[in-house]
Amino acid sequence: MIPYRVQDQRAQINDVLESAVMLSWTELQKGLRPGRIQVEYGTAPEASLQYVKMWRSPTRGTWDLICEYWISAGTTGRPAMGLTFSNGYHSAALTEILQEVMLHRDGLPNALAGHTGVSLILVHAPTMDEQRKAKHCISDAYQRIGLAYPEPPLMAA
């Protein structure tokens, strides 16, 4: 669940990624049995987000790769920089949010400094209240990088 954040506080990367999933939930579940989504991201010691991967679990023990977003340029054995969807998934909302926020990572807090590791976030179907909070979180993140979030409509309850 996304905690309410005071306007002058910076959203943490976990909140931004969780909010991005919540705001693209309908597109990512379209025509499929409802499932959970897991967000995985890796960090490096130079206060850098290295990659983001999203997985969908339609049934217990089954995970389908939704997308990968690589931050660093591709090298041998590593995908090229940018967003790639897999397994027939696609979301215009998620694409826009990830491209804008990841291109302006300096607008995200420096909470990643000195930490190398992999973090996981598990997202369940959002309630209307959670979706409103997600819109606020992404709108705040966009505002910090000098952009206006286009505010898509909330999903039906």
Assigned domain for 152 exists: no
87-117 pLDDT, tens digit each: 999 999 999 998 887 776 555 554 455 567 8
The mean-pLDDT minimum among 10-14, 79-83, 109-113, 130-134 falls in 109-113
Assigned domain for 8 exists: no
Q: How many domains does the chain have?
A: 1
24-80 pLDDT, tens digit each: 999 998 877 788 999 998 877 666 678 899 999 988 888 999 999 887 655 565 556
Q: How many residues does the chain have?
A: 157
- Domain enclosing residue 32, as ranges: 13-144
Assigned domain for 48 exists: yes
